Amino acid sequence: MQGARQGFALALTGALTVLPSVSGEQAVTILLENSEPVTGSSKGAEARDIYLGKLFGFAAVGRALEARRGAGGAASDTTPLLARMAQEVALLARKKGYLREAGAVILIELLRSARSDSVATLLQAAPALEEWLCSPVEVRSTVMPCVHGLTLSQSADAETLLLALELADRLPGAWKSRCPVLPAGEAGAVLEREHLGRLLPALLSSTSAHPRTHCVWGIITRMLLKSPAGTVEAFWEVACEQSLFTSSHERKCASASYHLSRSKPLRQVSRL
């Protein structure tokens, strides 16, 4: 079934790419108007198919727009359309846990296809995305047992962190300062020991992808490869030894799987 969804999305992307008579706005309208509503009587599998169909549909429209632009298509301003799609995807992705990671990846693609000078306008027109990206990270003493006697409660999740890290180079300064998972200074400081504590709740939530490795670990690996000496050791100590390895079996598995499958480049440069 998953393969069929991907095949239909690929076919839709190809069709929209070579049929410029169907605008992106028309494609989104058709997608929304012809999607079955999810009601109280919808069964779990039926609701899942509807939600995933819409999500894959938005991904197809976004990739078709990018393909048209790459092929020298019309250079019209797509900011309103991208904002509309970003709002719909953000609302949809937060309905169910199984939609969040894919939704975040689609949002990253949409914002990377926007003009750099239009990102602030796009975010203002997509309040659901703004809310997700600016989700707070809280440290409390009454919710979850965690590291060094502290207990963590999170609003920001692994997808919030994924969005923030992948889009940091495109976010205006004012928006970066409103994103709690990003440090106040340089972007590279996000993995420094002093800031890692704020990321732990989001990293812990990445096991929602179990048994897969969540996408957020990919960009963390790339950032570690570019980080100064000592950062890898600090990340291992704070995020893995003091957090993931002291938690559930899924989180232990996530940490072990990550370092077995993703840390080979780090070991090759003798930094782990």
Interval 4-24: pLDDT, tens = 566 778 888 888 888 888 999
Nearest to 251 by CA among 212, 183, 204, 185: 204
What residue type is assigned to position 105 of the chain? Answer: V
Tell me, what DSSP letter sits at residue 1? Answer: -
Instruction: Give me the percent of the chain exceeding a pLDDT of 70.
Output: 80
| Joined tokens for residue 191 | 């993995």
Average pLDDT over residues 41-61: 91
Chain mean position to CA 16: 25
Rg (CA), the chain: 20
* pLDDT for the residue 224: 85
Length of the chain (residues):
272
Mean of pLDDT over the chain: 82
* pLDDT for the residue 74: 56
Question: Is the separation of the CB atoms in 111 and 101 below 8 Å?
Answer: no
- pLDDT exceeds 80 at position 218: yes
| Joined tokens for residue 55 | 């999500």
CA angle, 196 then 199 then 201, to 5°: 130
In angstroms, the CA 110 to CA 25 distance is 14
Average pLDDT over residues 172-195: 83
| Joined tokens for residue 57 | 């549909």
pTM across the whole model: 0.84
Residue with tokens 């957020």: 216
In angstroms, the CA 127 to CA 87 distance is 7
- pLDDT exceeds 50 at position 129: yes
Nearest to 65 by CA among 111, 11, 23: 23
